[in-house]
Amino acid sequence: MWDNFEQILREIGQTDERLVGVLKTIYEEMRISNNRERDYNENLGRIIKNGIKRYGRPINLYPSDKKGRCQEICVSLALNKWNSRSTKNPGFKTVIKWLSNYWLKCNDVNKTTLIITTAWDEKDFSNTMTLKDRVDSYSANSDKNIIILLITSESISIQYKK
């Protein structure tokens, strides 16, 4: 499925070793689901959420219907078109707006945010000051990490890591 997964894990491990366990659990859930389902892209959010549940440690998840205390790790899903404003299945731009509020609220606790997206627009990310500025501003603190992963059924790549 993802030929470079081990390389991605090594790179992420340099930033936050805890995310390696989270991603391994998500990857295993994807492999299981890929064997059961024809096209897991339609069910990707559910697959990732099941993987996070199997991980078994407290993690904030956005979007989610459940409210909870701030955690050191936050996983956010942007599994729709770049500009999607859907509340249940938002795009990247909407997720960053939500995360900005989360980062303010959970600044004392949150250390690492992993954003998983299926749509990436490097030009818009870099040229839309509010997007990149928000991400850069939060990750400028030495104890904060943000990793943005672009995933498809065929590939995984790091789009941002600080």
Q: Could you tell me if 112 and 20 are in contact, meaning their C-beta atoms sit under 8 angstroms apart? A: no
Domain boundaries, the chain: 5-161
Q: Where are the beta strands (DSSP E) in 39-138?
A: 60-62, 73-78, 112-117
130 pLDDT tier (thresholds 50, 70, 90): confident
Average pLDDT over residues 86-113: 91
Average pLDDT over residues 71-89: 89
pLDDT at 158 over 50: yes
Supply the pLDDT for residue 34. 64
CA-wise closest residue to 148 among 129, 121, 128, 127: 121
50 pLDDT tier (thresholds 50, 70, 90): confident
Average pLDDT over residues 16-29: 89
Q: Could you tell me if 7 and 157 are in contact, meaning their C-beta atoms sit under 8 angstroms apart? A: no
